Amino acid sequence: MEEYAEVIVDVPAMQTDQPFTYRIPEDLHGLLSAGMRVEVPFGKGNRHIQGFIMSLFTGEKQEQTKDITRALDLEPVLNDELLALADYMKETTFAFKITCLQTMLPSVMKAEYQKTLVLQDAEAAKEAGVRELFDASGELDWLAAQATGKLGTLLSLRQAGAVNLRYDVHTKNKVKTTRLVTPLLSPTAAEEARGELKKTALRQAQLLTMLATTKASLPVKHYKEQGISTSVLNQGAENGWLRFTEVETYRDPYAHREFAQTHALELNGDQQVAVQAIQAAGDAKEARTFLLEGITGSGKTEVYLQSIAQVIEAGKSAIMLVPEIALTPQMVERFKSRLGDAVAVLHSALSQGERYDEWRKIERGEAKVVVGARSAIFAPLQDIGLIIVDEEHEATYKQEETPRYHARDLAIWRGKYHHCPVVLGSATPSLESRARAQKNVYTLLRLRERANPEANLPTVDIVDMKAEYSHKNPGNFSQVLKEKIADRLAKDEQIVLLLNRRGYSSFVMCRDCGHVVDCPNCDISLTLHMDVKRLRCHYCGHEEAIPQKCPECGSRKIRYYGTGTQKVQEELQGLFPEAKILRMDVDTTRKKGAHERILRAFGEKKAQILLGTQMIAKGLDFPDITLVGVLNADTALNLPDFRASERTFQLLTQVSGRAGRAQKAGEVLIQTFNPEHYAIQLAQRQDYEAFYQQEMFIRHQSGYPPYYFTVKITVSHEEEQKAAQKIFALTNELSKQLSPQTIFLGPTPGNVARVKNRYYYQLILKYKKEPRLQGALEQILVASQQDLRQGLLVSIDNEPMNFI
């Protein structure tokens, strides 16, 4: 009998989805288990690659089974739960299993491959004049070999069998250690040693004094700060006065920050109901999903904090997901100051090493609460008691590359696994989630009032920009907004201005009547393609020239719409030369920590106006903001995506929520060319429930989610014709296999038809019930390996967040 392992291997070129069997060599018996990474030989050349052990078994001796080369971990990096989650992910996102497994781990644990030339025939190498390139053990690093200028010779030696090419798995997950000094002398022994020193050996005498006064192992740094150099310490170690030890340490980006302890606030009625319902489900070990629908400032975060505190008290752990952008210092501070060291924070601004250290802390059970963006849903916590998805409607929870998972779905899966509640929170829930609450799939909890008793919802007014233009005001600021800004500047209150960048310049609108050019076949606006100067529908493929005049009113003032934040800043500064303005957009936040710095400066009142894009809409909780201005509410409205209204409503609600969060009354001004549009009208009334009803009606009429499920298939190739042929072939194939009730949108060219010299085509399927779809899509996935050899990339996006 022999021991074997089933291994999913990392084959970068041709994805291989089946586990391969490897023999476990004797020296690894008893050391391996499922979820560990190993190095294995693969393929004809026996390249060494990384693999994940799926299971172990004992069986009859099998010929031709290769041996595992070595273990890359001492403990499993993926536990049984996460291995099962990978299967679920694979099934629902149509990705390869190895991709799912790798996605769950910090990126430092992805394998890198190192190539080495290994000398086989020293004589032949000598004759060819390259013997001296190899080191004593006959090895030469591949990268170094390329710099020798002898690559041709080396390769012909390889062909002749005189040199071999070896692949090694190179892992980067280095643990950071700190060197400690452990004193070995008793005070009397130290005294004696000092007596024997030369008079001039001052530093050694000082070291002995320091060693005599402490028994603790202190970092080398501590001695250096006192002027003791490395060589003096080394001398001390040689003399037997001290010993060096290495301890593992974490790179903690928050190590030098103090978080003042905060305490639970007394909850209001709505909050109490919510906390109690969540706790009751937890106590009953019920995997219930709650939708916490609470207006901005209603104290959702307080509900999260108190619910998590209860979970920790019960000895369990919790995950709190937030959109990346919401990981502001304010949010982190609220969690750290309430829950202390139990909190690990995961976000993209951490270095790879910092992320890896946070991950290890979680894996070892040293962190009980994980606060993080999308990928924090893979946190290797044990015994989870609660999972929270804040701002659950945010599109950032969906990963836009394979595996295209939605963190909300994985949260619910993990909730079921741990028999614990999941809370989806938002002021503006996604239609999908709100509809599920309607059907009692989720339990609806509502917070209807602002939690701070002194705060009130701001008043919201709409400014019709069409009227402004007819008054010959061509700028970005209406008369009334200018007056309000001047008023707040005079009172030394703060102002937030939002310039909506979504859908920027991509559509054509009449500046006189606000008319937007729509597709004749679909209920959606046409997209401007500047590269070809034409308008195109992304749903049905309809195409037309850019009109010279407005088809509605005949005006010639028809143009594409939008301005940049920098230009607006200049205009604003021109209007208010004295005002201090902070700008926050992709350009000003590129550097690490820039986002934080801008917010801190604004919080410290170093500026009166914060002008920015979407990224300012969330999380800001400053008491002196009394005016919020939305410069252009329409841009997102006209995107050719059925979620355009929903996104506009969400954004306007979020940004309005920044005003009037404390005693001072808040005011919001929304500038728009479409003052009568329901998304804008209902955002003005701050009435999510009415918006939900209205939008559901429209989705029902036009047949979109949540009434239909959707899947998007994208094909790309360097040659347009190849991509087109493939998408039409797939369409034909699918229409044969699927039921006639399924609706095909397209195929159409991608939004940007050519990206990085590849042509994109897409097909969207809408369906209610389609039992054969899973199989059909899996077939496409399997065949995609074959397609890849012809340069075709085929991808499947289940429930796409973007239709364009």
Q: Which residues bind ligand ADP (CB under 6 A)?
A: 265-268, 271, 294, 296-302, 451-452, 621
Q: State yes or no: residue 513 binds Zn ion (CB under 5 A).
A: yes
Binding mask 563-602 for Zn ion (x = CB under 5 A): ----------------------------------------
Please name the residue ranges forming H helices in 174-227.
187-195, 202-213, 220-225
Residue 296, binding choice from ligand ADP, Zn ion, none, Cβ under 5 to 8 Å by partner class: ligand ADP
Count CA atoms closer than 13 A to 453's CA, side-chain side: 5
How many helices, marked H, and strands, marked E, lie in the chain? 24, 33
For ligand ADP, the closer CB: 301 or 589: 301
Region for residue 291 given its phi and psi (left: phi exceeds 0; alpha: psi -120 to 50; beta: otherwise) = beta
For ligand ADP, the closer CB: 253 or 372: 372
Q: What is the dihedral angle through the alpha carbons of 672, 698, 426, 91, rounded to the nearest 10 degrees? A: -130
Q: Least distance in Å: CB of 800 to ligand ADP?
A: 29
Q: How far apart are the first and last CA of the chain?
A: 56
Q: Least distance in Å: CB of 306 to ligand ADP?
A: 9
Q: Least distance in Å: CB of 374 to ligand ADP?
A: 19
In degrees and rounded to multiples of 5, residue 358 shows phi and psi of -60, -40
Q: Least distance in Å: CB of 7 to ligand ADP?
A: 45
Binding mask 521-560 for Zn ion (x = CB under 5 A): xx--------------x-xx-x-------x-xx-x-----
What CA–CA distances, in Å, run from 588 to 122, 203, 396, 593, 743? 58, 50, 21, 11, 44
420 labeled part of a ligand binding site: no
Q: State yes or no: residue 484 binds Zn ion (CB under 5 A).
A: no
Residues 6+ apart with CB under 8 A from 658: 296, 496, 616, 617, 620, 622, 625, 628
Residue 314, binding choice from ligand ADP, Zn ion, none, Cβ under 5 to 8 Å by partner class: none
For ligand ADP, the closer CB: 53 or 320: 320
Neighbouring C-beta atoms of residue 575, cutoff 10 Å: 15
Residue 777, binding choice from Zn ion, ligand ADP, none, Cβ under 5 to 8 Å by partner class: none
Please name the residue ranges forming H helices in 667-756.
678-685, 688-702, 720-737
Q: How far apart are CA 749 and CA 204, in angstroms?
A: 76
Q: How far apart are CA 495 and CA 575, in angstroms?
A: 15
For ligand ADP, the closer CB: 297 or 675: 297
For ligand ADP, the closer CB: 358 or 621: 621
Size of the site for Zn ion (CB under 5 A): 15
Q: Least distance in Å: CB of 664 to ligand ADP?
A: 13
What contacts 24+ positions apart, CB below 8 Å, involve 71-76? 71/28, 71/31, 71/32, 71/36, 71/37, 71/38, 71/39, 72/36, 72/37, 72/38, 72/39, 72/169, 72/171, 73/36, 73/37, 74/31, 75/36, 76/33, 76/34, 76/35, 76/36
Q: Least distance in Å: CB of 508 to Zn ion?
A: 11
Q: Least distance in Å: CB of 617 to ligand ADP?
A: 12
Q: What's the token pair of residue 444? A: 């609806």
581-584 and 609-612 as β-strands: parallel, antiparallel, unpaired? parallel
Q: State yes or no: residue 509 binds Zn ion (CB under 5 A).
A: no
Q: How far apart are CA 291 and CA 274, in angstroms?
A: 10
Q: What's the token pair of residue 230? A: 């490395």
Q: How far apart are CA 752 and CA 714, in angstroms?
A: 12
Q: Least distance in Å: CB of 681 to ligand ADP?
A: 23
For ligand ADP, the closer CB: 2 or 333: 333
Residue 513, binding choice from ligand ADP, Zn ion, none, Cβ under 5 to 8 Å by partner class: Zn ion
Q: Looking at 275, 489, 519, 637, which residue binds Zn ion (CB under 5 A)? A: 519
Residue 302, binding choice from Zn ion, ligand ADP, none, Cβ under 5 to 8 Å by partner class: ligand ADP
3-class secondary structure, 65: coil
Residue 675, binding choice from ligand ADP, Zn ion, none, Cβ under 5 to 8 Å by partner class: none
Residue 542, binding choice from Zn ion, ligand ADP, none, Cβ under 5 to 8 Å by partner class: Zn ion
**Applying CB under 5 A, which residues contact Zn ion?**
510, 512-513, 515, 519, 521-522, 537, 539-540, 542, 550, 552-553, 555
Binding-site residues from annotation for Zn(2+): 510, 513, 519, 522, 537, 540, 550, 553
Binding-site residues from annotation: 510, 513, 519, 522, 537, 540, 550, 553
